[in-house]
Chains A and B, each alone.
Chain A
Amino acid sequence: MSTPLTSLNVDELQAALADGATSVDITKAYLDRIAAIDGELGAYLHVDPEAALARAAEIDAGDKTGLAGVPVALKDVVVTEGVPTTSGSKILEGWTPPYDATVAARLKAAGTVLLGKTNMDEFAMGSSTENSAYRVTRNPWDPERIPGGSSGGSSAAVAGGLAPWAIGTDTGGSIRQPAAVTGLVGHKPTYGSVSRYGLIAFSSSLDQAGPMARTVLDAALLHEAIGGHDPLDSTSIDAPVPVLAESARRGADGDLSGMTVGVVRELGGEGHREGYEPGVLDSFTAAVARLESMGAEVREVSCPAFDLALAAYYLIAPSEASSNLARFDGVRYGLRVGDDGSRDLDEVMALTREQGFGPEVKRRIILGTYALSSGYYEAYYGQAQKVRTLISRDFSAAFGTPDDKGIDVLVSPTTPTVAFPLGARVDDPIAMYAADLCTLPASLAGVPAISVPCGLSEGLPVGFQIMAPALADDRCYRVAAALEAALTSDRGDRGFLDQLATRAATQEGAA
């Protein structure tokens, strides 16, 4: 029996398409799996099979080059013309955007086929997708566990074989953490290197869209398709996209000689292990040793300000969110509640927002309103922005200068634990926030960071995070590809999808 289309990597799909396979066949294979499994998995909020198949047929009729004909899923924070977009919130239920985000437009122009929009924590606030106003998303590795968040619909779709790859967004770890807990590769690009135009804003100084894929090479291909300068985003960096797919291919050769890897003490090292699972640390340590065996020079690096990243992030992000979410006022789009002629605008606004927002969004708006209020601004928001400077300085000191070369990449676990059980942290915001402990520093400094699978702990995936200087995203891909290739060769199988398939078969056999 030949390999099902839904278990091919994207570079293999491209080869199949060049060899005569049709986009309609591939798209239909995915739609069939979505129809069969997604009722239980909960990865998607919106799927339009007829539109997807029509689009695939249209691509099949033309020239198929590059990514043409390859299906893709988009996190529901990405605005899509004519396709419902909710950002996981009731306040946008039923809204159909009149335009495309740049990320969506670029993927459309490349000839990809939109499978659907994926579930997420409401307005991307969360680490488990349990804050979605619509449905629970389950982890394909264990349906009783979280798929990570906020891009948990995207991680579940790709890990579960319901999309070959997907777009996520990352504000404090929302691409990397869900990728880590579902055995995927997820990359947060350098801030400003992928357009934010048409992403429903959460925290504008932190938000970045990026790829979530089964392999490092696939992630690099997707990143190249969406990256680059966009005049519609005033914070977009006007610089060429680094060569990423080529870096991934080169990295897979497994030679890391001349590269210096810094292990961050504050993220799971000596004296900083509280909350980290031993299995995660063991897997991480083994991966560091594997990098060393490929010629990398490894040393420990201390970044003291990283200890305050969580505190700074949970002031800065809610502050920006409280301002960004002011646009949901029940006037121009989305929900309106209580407009019966007897209430004035302020009352209607307050009732609309009360009914349209979920608890976590309300908590963050209230916290942000407080942190920005007169009398508290300096002690909270102002102080957090200064801590942000200290975190950037720690990165700069580690990475050195062209004259005084420091380390090339910093590494850490992606998240302190494997996927936790559904419901375990919903009533304890602080415990939920701790899932982002390792991913927040790179977000606050705007530097690129990737998560690549590095092993299993208690049968569940562990993520390895690689952080690089701004605009050196290629280094993340190179080191991640080296690790991926080494672990694949050590195991002798094609990768985590094979392990997941084996696990699923065992579970079905047992059921």
Chain B
Amino acid sequence: MSTLSRTDVSHLAHLARLAVTDEELDLFAGQLAAVLDAVAQVGKAAVEDVTPTTHAVPMTNVARPDVARPCLPRDVVLAGAPAAEDGRFRVPRILGEEA
């Protein structure tokens, strides 16, 4: 088991697309180290031959009849978007200047 440094938290925040501030990094690193200490106790369990549970109820594949159903009208969906243009979601650029 390991602990979480300020650098680790900064890297994880980047992976999770969170532009955290320096103050948050200081706060979270300490708090998350304490939380990680507590949750690391799962390591104590004797789990040889124990299968993991992903869901509380047995999962079976569920399919619906292959029949077309109406979906939400486009204008209704776009009305909730932060930016829309020409009947589509408008997004910030996805490629850098050099591309």
Chain A: residues with CB nearer than 8 A to chain B? 95-99, 191-192, 205-206, 231, 234-235, 237, 305, 308, 310-312, 314-315, 322, 329-336, 339, 341, 343-351, 353-354, 357, 359, 362-363, 365-367, 369-371, 373, 376, 379-380, 382-390, 392, 429-430, 433, 444-447, 470
Secondary structure of the A contact surface, majority rule = helix
Q: How far is the CB of B93 from chain A (nearest CB, A)?
A: 5
Given contacts A336-B82, A383-B43, A383-B45, contact A310 B38 (CB under 8 A): yes
Chain B: residues with CB nearer than 8 A to chain A? 1-2, 4, 8-9, 12-21, 24, 27-28, 31-32, 34-36, 38-45, 47, 50-57, 59, 62, 64, 72, 76-77, 79-83, 89, 91-96
- 5 pairs, A vs B, C-beta closer than 8 Å: A205-B54, A336-B82, A362-B18, A370-B12, A386-B47
Q: How far is the CB of A405 from chain B (nearest CB, A)?
A: 23
How far is it, in angstroms, between the C-alpha of A445 and the C-alpha of B51 when the chains are bound?
14
| Residue from B50, B81, B91 in contact with A389 in the complex, judged by beta carbons closer than 8 Å | B50
- Does A353 contact B55, Cβ atoms closer than 8 Å? no
How far is it, in angstroms, between the C-alpha of A511 and the C-alpha of B45 when the chains are bound?
53
Given contacts A322-B16, A385-B53, A385-B54, contact A333 B82 (CB under 8 A): yes
- Does B17 contact A329, Cβ atoms closer than 8 Å? yes
Given contacts A308-B45, A315-B39, contact A350 B93 (CB under 8 A): no
- Does A205 contact B17, Cβ atoms closer than 8 Å? no
How far is it, in angstroms, between the C-alpha of A237 and the C-alpha of B55 when the chains are bound?
13
How far is it, in angstroms, between the C-alpha of A351 and the C-alpha of B72 when the chains are bound?
29
How far is it, in angstroms, between the C-alpha of A172 and the C-alpha of B85 when the chains are bound?
41
Given contacts A191-B56, A314-B38, A386-B45, contact A350 B83 (CB under 8 A): no
| Residue from B9, B47, B50, B56 in contact with A366 in the complex, judged by beta carbons closer than 8 Å | B9
- Does A369 contact B15, Cβ atoms closer than 8 Å? yes
Highest count of chain A CB atoms <10 Å: which of B20, B82, B83: B82
Q: How far is the CB of A439 from chain B (nearest CB, A)?
A: 14
Given contacts A359-B24, A362-B24, contact A386 B64 (CB under 8 A): no
B9 contacts across to A, CB distance below 8 A: 366
- Does B42 contact A346, Cβ atoms closer than 8 Å? no
- Does A98 contact B79, Cβ atoms closer than 8 Å? yes
How far is it, in angstroms, between the C-alpha of A310 and the C-alpha of B45 when the chains are bound?
13
- Does B17 contact A353, Cβ atoms closer than 8 Å? yes
Q: How far is the CB of A82 from chain B (nearest CB, A)?
A: 10
- Does A344 contact B95, Cβ atoms closer than 8 Å? yes
- Does B76 contact A369, Cβ atoms closer than 8 Å? no
| Residue from B2, B55, B82 in contact with A330 in the complex, judged by beta carbons closer than 8 Å | B82
Question: Which chain A residue lies CB-closest to B97?
Answer: A344
- Does A311 contact B47, Cβ atoms closer than 8 Å? no
| Residue from A331, A333, A334 in contact with B91 in the complex, judged by beta carbons closer than 8 Å | A331
- Does B72 contact A311, Cβ atoms closer than 8 Å? no
How far is it, in angstroms, between the C-alpha of A40 and the C-alpha of B27 when the chains are bound?
31
Known: A237-B57, A390-B47. 6 other contacts (CB 8 A): A354-B18, A366-B18, A367-B39, A369-B12, A380-B42, A386-B53
B12 contacts across to A, CB distance below 8 A: 366, 369-370, 373
Given contacts A234-B62, A351-B19, contact A386 B40 (CB under 8 A): no
Name the 3 nearest CB pairs between A and B, nearest first: A446-B56, A385-B52, A336-B82
Q: How far is the CB of A156 from chain B (nearest CB, A)?
A: 27
- Does B42 contact A99, Cβ atoms closer than 8 Å? no
- Does A308 contact B24, Cβ atoms closer than 8 Å? no
How far is it, in angstroms, between the C-alpha of A392 and the C-alpha of B13 when the chains are bound?
33
- Does A386 contact B52, Cβ atoms closer than 8 Å? yes
- Does B43 contact A379, Cβ atoms closer than 8 Å? yes
Q: How far is the CB of B13 from chain A (nearest CB, A)?
A: 6
Given contacts A336-B82, A339-B83, A430-B34, contact A365 B39 (CB under 8 A): no
- Does B89 contact A332, Cβ atoms closer than 8 Å? yes
Given contacts A312-B42, A379-B43, A386-B52, contact A429 B15 (CB under 8 A): no
Q: How far is the CB of B12 from chain A (nearest CB, A)?
A: 5
- Does A333 contact B80, Cβ atoms closer than 8 Å? yes
Question: Which chain A residue lies CB-closest to B65?
Answer: A231
- Does B39 contact A314, Cβ atoms closer than 8 Å? yes
- Does A350 contact B56, Cβ atoms closer than 8 Å? no
